Amino acid sequence: MKVNRKKRVSNVDWYKVSKDTVRGWLFILGFLIFALMVAYLYHKWSQFKLKRDTLTFLNEARALAQQIDVETLNRELTRRWNKAWKELDFASLAFNSANFEQAYKAALSSKRLFMSILDEYRGKVAIAWFSNVEGKVEYKRAKGTSYIPARTKVSLYPGDVVRSGPLGSAEIMFRNGTLYKLRPGTEFIIKGAGKEEGSKVELAYGWIDLNSIEASTKVKVPGIVAKVEENSRGAVSYNKTKRESRFATYEGEMELEFEKSGRKERVSDQQMVLVNNEKEVKKMDLPSRVELMVPPNGVLVDLVREKNLVLEWKKLKMVDHYYVQIADNSLFVGTVLEDKNRKKSTAKLALEGEGDFYWRVAAVKDGVMGEWSMPFLFRVIDSSVRFGKEAVDNKPPELKIASIEAHGNIYIIRGITEPGASVMVNNENAVVEADGSFVKTLTLLHPGRQDIVIVAVDSSGNHTVKKIPVVADF
């Protein structure tokens, strides 16, 4: 009997061990099946995205090709045209054969070639170009049917339509020296530009800031034409839902002409005119422009030593409050933080991570906001992380100036620096691309001989300075 009990116990123990083992193998098998399903679904999703993106590039390349008159191309552009068409044909064949990876590369190459051809093909008659683009901004040619993503240096012509999305902004320089800035949610049509007649645009909706230097500029909204005099800064907006127009002059003069009545209205320095339904006119004074003080532009902040940063600006009299914005780009698209009702002339920030940040402030009085201050940059680093993983960097960043273009007192500076570095031109921040290339539109305040000072600062705080002597004649 005792022997039988021991065998019985042994059988029970053996049965228990086998059951746990089976459960373990079932868990592993289930996990493997789940992992395979995830991998399969990810592969399917990747193929779908690749197919969709390839089809988009194919359609965009075909649309670009339709805008070019092949018979007018020179020998070099004709050669590139043929290459672009070969890439497009190959992409179409690869796409039809479900070889989406090769089709994607060929379609993208074809699109880029057609875009470069179109830029040079129309270069002789271009009246404006994108000098800075952030977020979603698109343009459509006068005879085109589809919108094309905007990029810096792309030329614009009479009849072209430009629009920015809810998180998009751009700066556009006209040949006559007028600088336009599109705020998010804006669309306008380019009408023309010349030394004598000035630039002309028709605002469909949204808000544009402008700076006319060498010639006057005209902005048309429904029922009203605003003529901004030479050497003036201002803004024009139109809300098509409310049928409400705003015309602001920060510096200089602006004249409004009402098309139906022929009435004229002057908008002088630091004034804004609000027009409802093209009839009701209300004129208001604008608050003064805010001057930023602390921290200085381009300051480097180390999280090891500072967890907070205090922003300070010059306090203005007779204002209700301030509007503060902080963003990770100089056009303030998709702000990181904003305070629309700041009573004090200071703000304390809690620093949480590395990055380049821009900040600006505007004063508000009686519900009317004044001009934004000049934006300042501050860079946040964490030396404990940076220097704990790699050797200390004491090498100054590379800084090369590619070109400087003069348009009256507006200068466009292009160059390249170390990727990840920030650049300031005459204490104003420049837009630096991922590859280190940068472009800066600079307005000189005084004529005569002077230096344009360009400073590049890398993530370790090393800097390189270059001074370019110029003689401003305006």
Full domain range(s) for residue 413:
399-472
Residue 41 lies in a domain: yes
Give the end of a domain, one of 79, 98, 121: 121
Q: Order of strands across the sheet with 463-472?
A: 428-429, 422-425, 448-457, 463-472
Same domain, 225 and 240: yes
Helical ranges in 66-99 per DSSP H: 75-96
Please tell me the predicted confidence (pLDDT) of residue 348. Answer: 92
The sign of the CA dihedral 440, 445, 447, 452 is negative
Integer Cα distance of 310 and 376 in angstroms: 13
Give the end of a domain, one of 285, 320, 343: 285
Angle, CA 350 vertex, CA 332 and CA 306 arms, to 5°:
115
Same domain, 437 and 413: yes
pLDDT digits (tens, 9 = 90+) for 137-160: 999 988 778 898 998 878 888 889
**Which residues have a Cβ under 8 Å from the Cβ of 51 and sit 6 or more positions away?**
95, 100
458: domain CATH number? 2.60.40.10
Residue type, 460: S
Please tell me the predicted confidence (pLDDT) of residue 18. Answer: 64
Instruction: Indicate the angle between helix axes 75-96 and 100-121, nearest 10 degrees.
Output: 160
Residue 145 lies in a domain: yes
Q: Please, are residues 171 and 441 in contact by the beta-carbon 8 Å criterion? A: yes
Residue 264 lies in a domain: yes
Same domain, 72 and 151: no
Q: Please, are residues 416 and 438 in contact by the beta-carbon 8 Å criterion? A: yes
256: part of which helix (H) or strand (E)? strand 254-258
pLDDT in tens, the chain (474 residues): 454 544 444 454 444 556 667 677 777 877 788 778 877 777 677 777 878 888 888 888 887 777 676 655 667 778 888 888 888 888 888 888 888 888 888 888 888 888 877 776 655 567 888 888 889 999 998 877 889 899 887 888 888 999 999 999 999 988 777 889 999 999 999 987 554 455 789 999 999 999 887 678 899 999 999 999 988 999 999 999 999 999 999 999 999 999 888 889 999 999 999 998 767 788 999 999 999 999 988 888 888 888 899 999 999 988 999 999 999 888 898 888 999 999 999 999 998 888 889 999 999 999 899 999 999 989 888 877 655 544 456 788 899 888 888 777 778 888 899 888 888 888 888 878 877 888 888 888 777 788 899 988 887 778 898 988 888 776
Integer Cα distance of 420 and 391 in angstroms: 17
This prediction's pTM: 0.64
Residues in the chain: 474
Residue 411 lies in a domain: yes
Whether the bond into 296 is cis, omega within 30 of 0: no
Same domain, 133 and 245: yes
Please tell me the predicted confidence (pLDDT) of residue 3. Answer: 47
Same domain, 142 and 257: yes
Q: How many domains does the chain have?
A: 4
Same domain, 443 and 332: no
Same domain, 356 and 223: no
Give the end of a domain, one of 248, 263, 285: 285
3-state secondary structure of 444: coil
Same domain, 115 and 129: no
Please tell me the predicted confidence (pLDDT) of residue 213. Answer: 73
Please tell me the predicted confidence (pLDDT) of residue 230. Answer: 85
Same domain, 378 and 459: no
Residue 268 lies in a domain: yes
Residue 394 lies in a domain: no
Integer Cα distance of 96 and 90 in angstroms: 10
Same domain, 110 and 133: no
Q: Please, are residues 254 and 229 in contact by the beta-carbon 8 Å criterion? A: yes
Same domain, 363 and 467: no
Same domain, 417 and 366: no
Residue 27 lies in a domain: yes
